[in-house]
Structure 1
Amino acid sequence: MPEISHRDRDRCCVAGIGVALLLSLGDVRPAGALDAPASTRIARAARPIALDLAAALAAYKTYVVGQADAFVRETARFVAAIQGGRVAEARGLYAPARAPYERIEPLAALFPDLIKRLDVRSDEFELRERDPAFVGFHRLEFALFALGTTEGMGEFAERLAAETVILRDRMTAVAIPPAKAVGAASALIEGIASTKISGEEERYSRTDLWDFQANIEGSKVVFVLLRPLLDDHAFVARVERSYKRIEDLLARYRAPDGGFQSYDNLTARDRNALKGPITLLAEDLSTLRGRLNID
């Protein structure tokens, strides 16, 4: 029997890579989740999708559903702390609750109505923080970190928990367009470069570095699943170096508890040091769709 090439072996194992990535990010899903038909549904393209690409997309769908499920669980813990009036605990659970969402944010954007209730910032409202329509994570972030209280937040917290379940159910049922799945790799990094590097996302908690790390993780999952399909080895090596460089930079700001320091601790020079490789990586990843001939 002829020996199977390393490249062909990689292509045959992309689904397994997806499962390994889930485990490496600490995601624990219910038994049997990998076998659920809904978790491997892919969109029908205008032309047939190559089997190796279809396998990568199916593995990514499994990852996305796993992260959506983790989002429900982690948010439930966060909400329970708020409802119990435990300010310090709720503060500590805020960033970990958001991390699964941050890993799949471009896919969550398939449901803009939900995003407006989950992740809207006060800038969107005339009365800003005092506007009754200001709800979701950032409304609770404001109460916890700017006001130092959970008072009056029970209803907001309960509503947030319900919205995460709706998002999880929709993510499970949706057929993710291939272009959207592949584009998530660059979209996650572009989001850091275009807006998050300024610190506007987590303006009260200053947990921005948690978001950066989750965005990098979510982007890298897409790239690793698609890597066996890429013929340009120089491109692959460059992208891998960029990920490594950014991960090393972020590691400098790790806190003793395994989390991250406040974003306020970073100087303008520190932020610029991050922005350079992040921008370069975003530019490279933006070519993935073209390299894979996905419209």
Structure 2
Amino acid sequence: MRNKTTISIAYLMIGLLLSQVAVAKALRSPVQTGNEIIIAKGDILTPEKYQKITTQYMDYTVKNIHNAIEQLNHLKQSLKNNDVRVAQMAYIQAHQYYETVRPIVIIFGHTDRIINSRSNDFLAGVKDYRFKGFHLVEYLLFDQQNNQATLNAVDELLMNLNDVKRRVETEQVDIVKLIQSSADFLEMILETKLAGKENIYSDSDLTDIAANVKGSQYIIDDIIPFLPHSTSAPIMKNFNKITEILDNYKIKTNEYKPYDDLSAKDKAALFSVLTQQAYLLATLRATLNLDVYYKYQY
């Protein structure tokens, strides 16, 4: 009896071992051979003809982050002078500059989550210790009207923005990610701003919508010479439609009416044209035949 039990256990162990080997083989990726191996890589080399575009856009990004920093410093000085209204306008302008280049900042890891987190990202809302950055400043300045707490939040935001600026000054973005960012700008509008969910305390989402559109079109304006007219024409037509709608709410350069003034008709029109435009921009990598993978020859 004991021998039979020992044999049974031995067979059981062998069976388990063989099953693990089978699972391991099932999970193992197939061996790649030949001269057409495709290898994924994080950063795709930018063809020389696009390098001027990517370099210029990084300069544009640095400039806008610098402008955001200047507006935040203006906000600080205005609060110290007890000029709350001027400080509030400085916040709106600072966030607009940031939104003009935000998708590029998002490329650099979790930076945007620190600089631009919203209270509804967290279960504890405004009480969550992770709620910081632009929207904490917005909450304290517009909702709580707590000048000292606002100044403290601005100091932390400035520290993080200056860090981002230093990093962007030494980085490059590849053309694939840059073109993808042109569509990402519009996706941001559709996800939050068109519903008025980005700047819920300052009611300034129209300003940020205009900033996102500006950032997207800046990329496309540089790419246009490389696109066939049949591709570029509907894209530029859509940008003109978007601008025409937003101009109805424009007060002056870089200043727009509150989001609550946006009519249901214009909101629906923006949704329609932005959705179509985001789709068109998402196809540009294929149109330009830009690979997402390296192909190594052996």
TM-score (normalised: structure 2): 0.78
Alignment counterpart, residue 153 of structure 2, candidates 142, 153, 156: 156
* Identity percentage of aligned residues: 25
Distance 1:256 1:52, change over 3 A: closer
Q: Deviations over 1:238-279 (max 9, x none)?
A: 111100110010000112686111101123332112111111
SS in 2 for 1:153: helix
Secondary structure at 1:255 match in 2: strand
Distance in 2 (CA, whole Å) between partners of 1:272 and 1:280 is 13
Aligned to 1:74: 71
Amino acid at match of 1:197: L
Q: Which residue of 2 aligns with 1:45?
A: 44
List per-residue Cα deviations over 1:53-83 (Å, max 9, x = no partner): 2222222222222222222222222233345
Cα distance change on mapping 1:44 and 1:184 into 2, 3 Å: closer
Shift of 1:115: 1.6
Q: Which one of the candidate residues 253, 256, 259 is aligned to 1:260?
A: 256
**Alignment partner of 1:109: what SS?**
helix
Per-residue CA distance 1:91-113 (angstroms, 9 max, x = gap): 11111111221111111102343
- 1:96 matches 2:96: no
Tell me if structure 2 keeps the 8 A contact 1:71–1:97.
yes
Q: 1:211 aligns with which of 208, 222, 236?
A: 208
Contact 1:75 1:98 in 2 (8 A): no
Figure out how many residues of one structure are paired with residues of the other and give that number.
250
2:283 maps to 1:287: yes
TM-aligned CA distance change 1:256 to 1:54, over 3 Å: closer
Structure showing greater radius of gyration is: 2
Superposed, 1:1-295 pairs within 5 Å as 45=44, 49-230=46-227, 232-255=228-251, 259-294=255-290, 295=292
User: 2:44·2:176 contact (CA, 8 Å) conserved in 1?
Assistant: no
Moved more, 107-116 or 189-198: 107-116
Shift of 1:225: 0.6
Against the structure 1 CA distance between its residues 62 and 269, is the aligned structure 2 distance closer, same or farther, given a 3 Å change threshold? same
- Which residue does the alignment assign to 1:7? none
Deviation by residue 1:12-48 (Cα, 9 ceiling, x = unmatched):
xxxxxxxxxxxxxxxxxxxxxxxxxxxxxxx9735xx
Check the 8 A contact 1:83/1:157 in 2, yes or no. Answer: no
Could you tell me which runs of 5 or more consecutive residues in structure 1 were left unpaired when the two chains were aligned: 1-42
Q: Please, which runs of 5 or more residues in structure 2 have no aligned partner? A: 1-41, 293-298
Name the residue aligned to 1:35.
none
Structure 2 contact 242–273 (Cα < 8 Å) conserved: yes
For the Cα contact (< 8 Å) 2:93–2:254, is it kept in 1? no
Is 2:207–2:254's contact at 8 Å kept on the other side of the alignment? Answer: no
Structure-1 separation of matches of 2:77 and 2:133: 15
Cα distance, 1:287 vs. partner?
1.0
